[in-house]
Amino acid sequence: MAVAEDGSNGVLHGKYVLGRQLGHGTFAKVYQARNLYTGRNVAMKVVAKEKVIKAGMMEQLKREISVMKLVRHPNIVELHEVMASKSRVYFAMELVRGGELFSKIEKGRLREDVARSYFQQLISAVDFCHSRGFYHRDLKPENLLLDEDGNLKVTDFGLTAFSDHLRQDGLLHTTCGTPAYVAPEVIGKKGYDGAKADIWSCGVILYVLLAGFLPFQDENVVAMYRKIYRGFDLSPLFEEKKREEKQEIRFATTKPAETVVAKLEAVAEVMKFDVIKSGDESSLRLQGREIGRKGKLGILAEIRAVAPSLLVVEVKKSSDRQ
């Protein structure tokens, strides 16, 4: 039987029976398919060549094929074979039935032991890639799939860079990735280490798994980039600033809440601030004693346990000066 023009049914290359559509994107559709000779079920990614060429992304497609042919790791989606026709490229890949890790996070933060297991598998796959001289550069929960046994699988290698993409300074210079997960040096456009950039993204993913939200987020991308640049530096909150913008910092710590409170109280004493605690000590307010042009300066600290051994502390200037 001939393959339909949209690739939605029929026998592909006399070898694969295409079934239901599993998903789609701008340039490709993914179908469940079965190999007639082995009986193995696969995910068949059908890429429209014309769309890819018009978007100037043919090199990206070739790069993805090159990478997936090189990798064989239990936590990386396996590419079985690549086929092509005049109008399409077909990727026969490992069928991963558990969906995206992102869908798990949408339901709320994960237990610490579950997050640890996923993170260990992620790091294993990323380390394997780095040892072969290439860097993913777009690690995020949407590109991490789960199989039926809950094993993590890294996918989508379209933005991967190889060691031979390094410039004479030994760094990568192409800005890419998903804004909330990119390292500050990638945004800086002065060159970056691909391995370190991937590790930063892994750290953001771990934070999201445990906290249930991003460490750096803002509807305005430029504002979010500023937060990424600041990282987890708390010093801006305790320095005189000429600009009037609201400042807000989140950071994670494995120290107990009592230690965090004690350190904040110590800072308050040095700065001659009064400390006002909530009933359950989940938040405290540092209230300046001196009256400035806008009243007494206030700093609010909120402490949340996202796991038995991990706290997220959010510190910001209080909006209601007294």
Which pLDDT tens digit goes with each residue over 48-75? 999 989 988 888 888 888 888 888 999 9
Q: What is the DSSP string of 258-318?
A: HHHHHHHHHHHHHHTEEEEE-TTSSEEEEEEEEEETTEEEEEEEEEEEEETTEEEEEEEE-
Give the per-residue pLDDT at 281. Answer: 67
Highest mean pLDDT range out of 23-32, 37-46, 161-170, 216-225?
Answer: 37-46
The one-character DSSP state at 4 is P
Q: Where are the domains of the chain?
A: 11-94, 101-211, 247-317
User: Catalytic one among 138, 156, 169, 274?
Assistant: 138
CATH superfamily of 247-317: Kinase associated domain 1, KA1 (3.30.310.80)
List strand residue ranges (DSSP E) for the chain, in order.
11-12, 16-24, 28-35, 41-48, 79-84, 88-94, 134-135, 144-146, 152-154, 161-162, 248-253, 273-277, 283-292, 295-307, 310-317
Give the per-residue pLDDT at 295. Answer: 62
Res 292 pLDDT > 80: no
Domain covering 101-211 in this structure, CATH number? 1.10.510.10
| Average pLDDT of the segment spanning 249-264 | 81
**Cα angle 304, 309, 314; round to 5:** 25
CA separation for the pair 157, 141 (Å, rounded): 14
- Tell which wins on pLDDT, 90 or 177: 90
| Mean confidence (pLDDT) of the chain | 82
| Average pLDDT of the segment spanning 80-101 | 93
- Tell which wins on pLDDT, 290 or 190: 190
Domain covering 11-94 in this structure, CATH number? 3.30.200.20
Cα dihedral angle (40, 46, 49, 52), rounded to 10 degrees? -120
Active site (annotated) includes residue 6: no
Give the per-residue pLDDT at 164. Answer: 57
Which pLDDT tens digit goes with each residue over 11-38? 888 899 999 998 887 888 999 999 999 9
Which pair of structure tokens corresponds to residue 131? 């040892």
| Average pLDDT of the segment spanning 136-156 | 92
CA separation for the pair 134, 29 (Å, rounded): 26
Give the per-residue pLDDT at 101. Answer: 92
Per-residue pLDDT band at 256 (split at 50, 70, 90):
confident
Name, in order, each residue with C-beta under 8 angstroms of 288's C-beta and a sequence gap of 6 or more: 271, 272, 273, 274, 296, 297, 298
